[in-house]
């Protein structure tokens, strides 16, 4: 989780898990720390209210506690039904799922064997102790200007980072969601104290989970930072000893810190500075280059290096290095200053700034080695402007091809990724947008387009063998991790609907 929030901004934020209203999906945008989240919109407040009304009604009819209902498949369906009522018909959901637990289970069983490969996940190491990540929780206990606790329940609680660490990662990713395989990432800093995970620690998590499961459930990044010389040297060991699965970098520079410096930026097409990094990636056969683009703070023009987060350096790099694969994290989405204005502009013109630029690269540069990871971008839009979320997918597919869109969630900052999985399974591009902007339908939850995005595309990038129907050859269904998950569910455990990132305080 990069931390671009200032102390002044943090005074207006709280941890999402401190919100007293429980919902199966977030009802306002959650920030991982890379942008200042917008306030809850009137429409999102209406969705939240509808979810609570339906939960009270149908929990009673099903004879279960309200909380149990909200954490069930019926509760998840209720959330998407509420969004349809407020935002228009975007999600495929039936009222029977909301009312009847058996109908909800039947719907869930239709995708129980779906292969899901999340290429964008995070946790922090066990000894992580940077207090910058706990500032807001301490303030919520009463350590603030007013000296009044925002949440009295936290006063006696010990401050810790448990929710960002490995145990919760394993639970959120593999027990509370349908994720099959995950790629673990990090954010670099010149200050070792703030680094979420080193290359060694990412690989240690990968190896631990894979030993536990007996299958290849996890992969790990190695960090690249062309403008910091020691990272080029570190690639040798990362590739040969640690055997990292791909590389991750931030062109905008140092992104960690309550007031980050953004030092040491770099361009993807810098022949002198960056191409030696690509040479090593090519030499060692670790050819997936994952780069953070977009997702800028609301005041991004105040960052001296903000233009390094744009996409104007991608085309030439992809053109010059056809044997490498460039995975653009967040699909280059610029976090909107005025989401409503952007939505209205899109409805009138069909323009999605920066997403359009991303989608145009293959045709403009004659390349086929550019991929869009939709981590965070899809999730944030899916709960704010679902029509834009659908249009973003359609635009990326139209420009890059359905085979070049990768599933990522930026979890676990927003808790279990199950709500994002359900959003993609259910979303469809509204007919009027298909006609007006020449976009193809996304199709059913387990159709060819969504199966490709969920896992088939990433499998081809990371050497996971699939059969002729797109299912992994490796027997994940019967491995030790699946057995443990079955025990967890049989014991009555449920998704906890907790979200770990930042939201704006409620007024």
- Report the pLDDT value the prediction gives residue 376, as an integer from 0 to 100: 86
Q: How far is CA 12 from CA 8, 23, 157, 415, in A?
A: 8, 22, 22, 21
DSSP sequence for 70-130: HTSHHHHHHHHHHHHHHH-S-B---HHHHH-HHHHHHHHHTTTT---EEEEE----TT---
- pLDDT for 5 equals 58
**Structure confidence at residue 38 (pLDDT):** 67
Q: Give the pLDDT confidence score for residue 145 in this predicted structure.
A: 38
Helix (H, G, I), strand (E, B) or coil at 327: strand
Task: State residue 3's pLDDT score.
Answer: 52
Supply the pLDDT for residue 65.
84
What are the structure tokens assigned to 21, written together? Answer: 């209203």
Q: What pLDDT does 16 receive?
A: 60
Low-confidence ranges of the chain (pLDDT < 70): 1-20, 27-38, 128-161, 257-259, 297-298, 336-339, 494-507
Residue 117 phi/psi, 5-degree rounding, is: -120, 110
Q: What is the DSSP letter of 251?
A: T
Check if the beta carbon of residue 97 is closer than 8 Å to that of residue 422.
no
- What does pTM read for this prediction? 0.85
CA–CA dist 197, 242 (Å, integer): 14
The whole-number pLDDT of residue 383 equals: 83
Q: Give the pLDDT score at 19.
A: 60
C-beta separation of 498 from 71 below 8 A: no
Residues 415-435 pLDDT 10s: 889 999 999 999 999 999 999
Sign of CA dihedral 260, 289, 396, 400: positive
C-alpha dihedral sign at 431, 437, 442, 443:
positive
Task: Give, for 273, the enclosing helix (H) or strand (E).
Answer: none
pLDDT at 137: 41
pLDDT of residue 25: 74
CA distance 417 to 45: 22
Helix (H, G, I), strand (E, B) or coil at 177: coil
């Amino acid at each position: 989780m990069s931390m671009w929030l200032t102390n002044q901004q943090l005074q207006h934020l709280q941890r999402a898990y401190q919100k007293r209203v429980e919902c199966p999906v977030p009802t306002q945008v959650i920030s991982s720390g890379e942008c200042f989240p917008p306030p809850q919109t009137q429409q999102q407040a209406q969705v939240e209210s509808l979810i609570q009304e339906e939960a009270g009604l149908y929990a009673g009819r099903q004879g279960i506690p309200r909380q149990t209902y909200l954490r069930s498949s019926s509760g998840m369906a209720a959330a998407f039904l509420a969004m349809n009522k407020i935002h228009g018909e975007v999600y495929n959901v039936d009222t029977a799922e909301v009312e009847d637990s058996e109908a909800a289970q039947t719907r869930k069983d239709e995708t129980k064997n779906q292969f899901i490969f999340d290429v964008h996940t995070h946790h922090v190491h066990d000894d992580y102790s940077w207090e910058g990540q706990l500032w807001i929780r301490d303030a919520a206990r009463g350590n603030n200007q007013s000296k009044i606790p925002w949440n009295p329940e936290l006063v006696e609680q010990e401050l810790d980072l448990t929710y960002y660490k490995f145990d919760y990662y394993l639970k959120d990713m593999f027990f509370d969601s349908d994720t099959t395989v995950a790629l673990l990432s990090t954010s670099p800093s010149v200050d070792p104290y703030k680094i979420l995970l080193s290359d060694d620690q990412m690989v240690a998590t990968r190896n631990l989970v894979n030993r536990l499961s007996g299958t290849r459930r996890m992969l790990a990044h190695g960090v690249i930072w062309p403008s910091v010389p020691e990272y080029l040297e570190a690639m040798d060991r990362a590739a040969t000893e640690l055997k990292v699965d791909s590389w991750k970098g931030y062109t905008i520079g140092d992104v960690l810190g309550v007031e980050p410096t953004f030092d040491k930026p770099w361009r993807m097409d810098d022949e002198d500075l960056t191409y030696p990094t690509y040479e090593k990636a090519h030499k060692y056969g670790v050819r997936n280059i994952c780069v953070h683009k977009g997702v800028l703070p609301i005041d991004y023009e105040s960052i001296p290096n903000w233009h390094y987060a744009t996409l104007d350096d991608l085309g030439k790099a992809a053109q010059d290095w056809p044997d490498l694969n460039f995975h653009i994290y967040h699909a280059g989405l610029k976090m909107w200053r005025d989401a409503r204005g952007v939505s209205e502009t899109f409805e009138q013109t069909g323009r999605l700034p920066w997403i359009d630029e991303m989608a145009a690269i293959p045709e403009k540069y004659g390349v086929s080695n550019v991929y869009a990871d939709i981590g965070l971008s899809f999730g944030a839009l899916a709960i704010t402007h679902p029509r834009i979320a659908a249009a973003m997918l359609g635009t990326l597919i139209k420009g890059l091809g359905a085979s070049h869109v990768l599933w990522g969630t930026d979890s676990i900052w927003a808790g279990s990724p199950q709500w994002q999985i359900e959003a993609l399974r259910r979303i469809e591009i509204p007919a009027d947008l298909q006609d007006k902007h020449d976009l193809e339908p996304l199709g059913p939850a387990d159709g060819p387009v969504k199966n490709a995005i969920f896992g088939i595309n990433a499998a081809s990038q990371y050497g996971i063998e699939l059969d002729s129907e797109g299912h992994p050859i490796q027997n994940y269904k019967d491995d030790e991790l699946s057995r443990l998950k079955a025990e967890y569910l049989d014991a009555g455990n449920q998704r906890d609907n907790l979200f770990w990132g930042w939201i704006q305080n409620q007024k």
